[in-house]
Amino acid sequence: MKTWLDKWNPEDEAYWNAGGSKIAWRTLTITTITLVLSFASWFMMSVIAVKLPGLGFNFSKDQLFWLTAIPGLAAGLLRIIHTFLLPIFGTRHIISFATAIKLIPVIGIGFAIMNVNTPFWVFAVLAFTTGFGGGDFSSYMPSTSLFFPQRLKGTALGIQAGIGNFGVSIAQFVTPLIISVGIFGASTVFTSIDPKEALAVFQNSSIEKQKEVFTALDTEVQTKILSNVKKNVVDSVCTAVNSHDNVVVFASLPVKAKAKAIANANPKLAEKILNNISAENSAVKNKPIYLQSAAFWYAPFLIIMAFVSWFYLKSIPMKASVKEQLDIFSNKHTWYCTITYVMTFGTFAGLSAAFPLMIKFLYGDFPNAPDPLVYAFYGPLIGSASRIAFGFVADKVGGAVLTTMTGVGILAGAVILVTQGLVAPTSMDQFPLFVTVILAMFFFTGIGNAGTFRQYPIIFKENPRQAAGVIGWTAAIAAFGPFIFSKLIGNNISANGTVNQFFIGVAFFTILATGINWWFYNRKNCEKPS
């Protein structure tokens, strides 16, 4: 089959009306559907990781954050590569291959979940391969930019990126539904611990019984459980009892601290301890789930769309070597655009990856703690919808003003999170405002994502090939968002149980990025009004 079109000139209205429009919109439809699958498979680990401890995987809090961070690291690296692939291989070959290769993480993770003895390094490698789904974005966006005339670029890019971003919501929305259905393989017992009922177990049992059960545990396990207690509490108890013996320290802890330490342990271990203390307890909740379905269900759709892409896509005749494409890095606006897109898409992708685990580890210890997956999908859904809606707005009013609005919105959100104690919570009463502020930040990132992708083709309008390259490059760097957010948030929580320092950093970076956008692209008589 013929891969390359003989010519392509979407700015010629006669050419556009004679058939160019049909090709462009067909390409947009197919690539957008495949991009939805890309984003969904890229973020599937962010929802799967939340459930792994309940199946018996003995991964630490830090390891779970690593599993949500690695896909962002992989996507950023792969997007850098994808930035230069389009002029070499063309749309048809890249989209077809990129769709098919995502079968590796989808099938691999599905089988890994089914064996509770699968080591962490295997999950880490598979988490890296989910980056295939995030990496190809830097081929999709440049391709779409080239297929459409200047007057429709904002609309086309807004539609594709916005609907593509819905893939994140699909991963987070479908997962809770599909893991309850036995489509692929046998069920596994998922265990969760109710913190309020765990406290009741300790309140209604003797210290001698608690001490007996704790003594039976391995020393290493005892140490891990005690690590769930705040250091200042442990230190004060050690001083009071004049001992550092694990059993003595545990037995002397306040009852709430003991219950919390057990509730925060691996659920399977907590189940064993609580059942040994009180066989008839209401703290342990067990239910069958099919977590492997959260990965396997993508496979048939990927296979279908790989074939559709191969048979129905064409490539634009615009070829350039990697060396020729490196000219974008000599332009200062490449770097300024990179900073603004890290602010918009980097924040969107970073929050998407970290939001479920933030809910779990910031608010999961309180009575009536929320299920992270009940709320997680709303953020990406709102961010994706606003990106689509404001793609049309960007074509009318320009993208720069929307990017400035986004900076103000993200800054306000970060300030509220810190000043109101929402990322260092003391009760569940703060949870509704926490979710509201995070969702508002998602909304503004969608506005900014639409604005920036309207700006870049205009800033580089003298050279469409450079404009496409800059879109790919900025998307590559912003794709590190999940890695940055997950790792730094995870480090903050592990160190002091809050995320205040991280969001203070977000506030300062947002001020920098918004200032750059306003000075060069938004203010009166700016250098590149867009």
Q: Which helix (H) or strand (E) holds 189?
A: strand 188-193
What are the φ/ψ torsions at residue 468 (nearest 5 degrees)?
-65, -40
The per-residue pLDDT for 121 is 96
At 367, the pLDDT band (50, 70, 90 cuts) reads: confident
State the architecture of 1-184+290-319 in CATH terms.
Up-down Bundle (1.20)
User: How far is it, in rounded angstroms, from Cα 153 to Cα 467?
Assistant: 11
Q: In the chain, where are the structural domains located?
A: 1-184+290-319, 189-285, 320-529
191 has which bridge partners?
286
Q: Give the rounded percent of residues in the chain with a pLDDT score beyond 90.
A: 58
CA–CA–CA angle 287, 291, 296 (5° rounding):
150
Residue 484 has pLDDT above 80, yes or no: yes
528 C-beta neighbours (distance < 10 Å), count: 16
The per-residue pLDDT for 132 is 95
The per-residue pLDDT for 175 is 83
What is the mean pLDDT of the segment spanning 337-349?
95
On the CB side of 52, how many CA atoms lie within 13 Å of its CA?
29
More confident: 83 or 133: 133
More confident: 346 or 85: 346
Residue 190 has pLDDT above 70, yes or no: yes
Q: What is the pLDDT of residues 283-327, one digit of tens each?
A: 999 999 999 999 999 999 999 999 999 999 999 887 666 777 788
Q: Are 521 and 455 a contacting pair, CB within 8 Å?
A: yes
The per-residue pLDDT for 314 is 93
Do 320-529 and 1-184+290-319 have the same topology in CATH?
A: yes
193 has which bridge partners?
284
Crossing angle of the two packed helices 347-363 and 431-459, in degrees rounded to 10: 170
More confident: 174 or 448: 448
Homologous superfamily of 320-529 in CATH?
MFS general substrate transporter like domains (1.20.1250.20)
Q: What is the pLDDT of residues 14-71, one digit of tens each?
A: 999 999 999 999 999 999 999 999 999 998 998 899 899 999 998 988 899 899 889 9
111 C-beta neighbours (distance < 10 Å), count: 16
The per-residue pLDDT for 463 is 84
The per-residue pLDDT for 319 is 66
Burial of 19 (0-12, 13-18, 19+ CB in 10 A): exposed
Q: Which residues contact 239 (CB under 8 A, 6 or more apart)?
A: none
Q: What is the pLDDT of residues 397-427, one digit of tens each?
A: 989 999 999 999 999 999 999 999 999 999 9
Return mean pLDDT, the chain.
90
User: How far is it, in rounded angstroms, from Cα 214 to Cα 247?
Assistant: 7
- The whole-model pTM stands at 0.80
What is the mean pLDDT of the segment spanning 135-160?
85
